[in-house]
Structure 1
Amino acid sequence: MPQLSPLNWIFLFILFWSAVLSLSVLIWWSKKVYFQSQSLKSSNLKENKWNW
């Protein structure tokens, strides 16, 4: 396996952690939006439940 220069190691380090960070933010954002939509649906159901 060929040796990499220190700049390449730094680049790979930054690339790896930026990918991990972006994936975790994406997962967090999708769960956040899902729970917000669920809470909005449940609040709408609660509001409409007693509006006769």
Structure 2
Amino acid sequence: MPQLAPLSWFWLYLLFWTLFLALCMSAWWWDRGRLSCPPVKKTSHCRWSWC
């Protein structure tokens, strides 16, 4: 099937960008939680919420 190849490339491309964006967002949330929280209060809750 000739139309299967472009579709699979499209899904690979989409998956790559989804993973890339997820990695960027998680790094951004990690940095935001670490920078905006006081040094004493480094908890996992603090990392994933707006402090």
TM-score (norm 2): 0.69
Greater RCO, 1 or 2 (C-alpha within 8 Å, sep 6+): 2
Where does residue 32 of structure 1 map in the other structure? Answer: 25
Mapping of residues 11-50 of structure 1, within 5 Å: 11-45=4-38
Structure 2 residue matching 1:9: 3-state secondary structure = coil
What 5-or-longer segments of structure 2 have no aligned partner?
A: 42-51
Query: Which is higher, the Rg of structure 1 or of structure 2?
Result: 1
Sequence identity (%): 8
TM-score (norm 1): 0.68
Higher helix share: 1
- Could you list the runs of 4 or more consecutive aligned residues of structure 1 that deviate by over 3 angstroms after TM superposition? none
What 5-or-longer segments of structure 1 have no aligned partner?
A: 1-7
Deviations 1:1-52 (A, max 9, x none): xxxxxxx221101100000000000000000000000000011138x6xxxx
